[in-house]
Every structure is written in structure tokens, then in C-alpha cells.
């Protein structure tokens, strides 16, 4: 199994965790540059991404690159944040995404489906998971706003802790409005 990321701190933390669990012979984690993946064509049976693609412009190029490294019949599975048509001009959405340091590159479910199909995947599906994430985000907000806040402040400091709390609140408003659409995406490389 191979994991990749473009952030050195995340890669270092991942390598340390893998070593602490004595899994270094089974799992590798690599620091990569944005762009083409450093793997040969037809290298993997499965490629998985969780909540990372929302930060990447050029989804069609990304999907094609993943298709390149998949073996024939291989599957690309991802959890990603999509948004509703017109959400980019919604004041609730703008208030939330402008409140933090991260940059986002959202697409709609229709755009994601079309980009997968145009990249060459078969058996494409995009499944809206809003209901599940609304519930879990609401619980996260309650936990972070309650007794866990003091502990979070002790770990990351008050400013970052409050950013996290405010982010979960803003995300809840976007989820409840229907503008934010957490989704599971899947496509297969034709055999």
C-alpha cells in the first residue's frame, strides 16, 4: 500500500504513525509534487482519496492521471466535497469558505460525473451523503463547543481551536442549506 501527499508535515506524521504500528514493510508514504503521479501506468488495483480533491483545480486532469495509474478493471474510490449549482454565489457558502486558510475547488455532482466519464471511467457513480454528514458534523460541533473545547485549546491553542469550532458551525449551515454536498465517487477503468 502506498500513500501520497504534497504536504511534508502530513507525510512525516504518516511515516511516524506507520512505523509506530510496525507497518513499514506493508505501507509506504511518499511526498509528491502536484501534477503527474510518480508511478508507472497500470500500477494499482485501487486508488482511494478522502477529502483531498476539493482542493485541486482541474478535476478532469486529476481523474485522467488516476486512470493512467490504475490497472485495467481497477477502481477509483473517493470521498469529496461537492456543491449545488449556484452555491458559489450563496452568502452562507461564501461566509464559510472565506473564514479559513484553505482554498477550495468545488464541482457539482453533474460536473463530477461528466468529468469521470470524459476521463474514460465506466460504472461511474456519485452518491450524495449529506444526510450522514449533517448528523456527524452536528455531533462534532456539539463536542467541540462543549467539554472538549478546553482539551482542544490545550493541544492547538485558543485561536486554532476557535477556528475549528467556527468551521464546523459554518459547514453545518452549508450542509443544512443543501449547498454543500459531501459525496462518494466511484469509477472503474475499463478492462
Tell me whether residue 6 is in a domain. no
Tell me whether residue 120 is in a domain. yes
Q: Which residue range is the domain that position 97 belongs to? A: 34-188
pLDDT at 30 over 90: yes
The cell for 74 is 481497477
- Position 105 scores a pLDDT of 87
Tell me whether residue 4 is in a domain. no
Tell me whether residue 77 is in a domain. yes
- 179-188 pLDDT tens trace: 999 999 999 9
Contacts of 63 (CB under 8 A, 6+ apart): 76, 115, 116, 119, 121, 187
Quote the pTM value.
Answer: 0.86
Tell me whether residue 26 is in a domain. no
Strands (E), 41-128: 44-50, 70-83, 122-128
- Position 81 scores a pLDDT of 93
Tell me whether residue 118 is in a domain. yes
DSSP letter at 3 equals E
- Which pLDDT band holds residue 72 (cuts at 50, 70, 90)? very high
Total domain count for the chain?
Answer: 1
Tell me whether residue 25 is in a domain. no
- Which pLDDT band holds residue 102 (cuts at 50, 70, 90)? confident
Domain with 121 in it: what CATH number? 3.40.50.150
Average of per-residue pLDDT values in the chain: 93
- In this structure, the number of other CB atoms found within 10 A of the CB of residue 54 comes to 20
Tell me whether residue 166 is in a domain. yes
Amino acid at each position: 500500500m502506498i500513500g501520497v501527499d504534497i504536504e511534508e508535515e502530513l507525510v512525516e506524521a504518516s511515516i511516524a504513525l506507520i512505523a509506530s504500528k510496525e507497518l513499514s514493510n506493508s505501507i509506504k508514504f511518499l511526498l509528491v509534487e502536484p501534477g503527474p503521479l510518480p508511478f508507472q501506468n497500470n500500477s494499482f488495483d485501487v486508488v482511494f482519496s478522502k477529502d483531498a480533491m476539493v482542493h485541486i483545480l482541474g478535476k478532469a486532469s486529476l481523474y485522467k492521471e488516476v486512470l493512467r495509474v490504475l490497472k485495467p478493471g481497477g477502481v477509483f474510490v473517493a470521498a469529496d466535497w461537492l456543491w449545488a449549482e449556484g452555491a458559489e454565489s450563496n452568502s452562507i457558502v461564501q461566509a464559510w469558505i472565506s473564514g479559513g486558510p484553505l482554498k477550495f475547488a468545488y464541482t457539482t455532482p453533474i460536473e463530477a460525473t461528466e468529468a469521470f466519464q470524459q476521463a474514460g471511467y465506466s460504472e461511474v457513480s456519485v452518491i450524495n451523503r449529506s444526510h450522514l454528514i449533517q448528523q456527524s458534523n452536528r455531533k462534532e460541533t456539539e463536542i467541540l463547543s462543549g467539554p472538549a473545547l478546553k482539551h482542544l485549546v490545550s493541544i492547538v491553542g485558543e485561536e486554532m481551536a476557535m477556528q475549528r469550532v467556527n468551521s464546523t458551525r459554518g459547514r453545518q449551515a452549508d450542509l443544512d442549506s443543501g449547498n454543500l454536498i459531501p459525496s462518494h465517487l466511484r469509477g472503474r477503468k475499463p478492462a
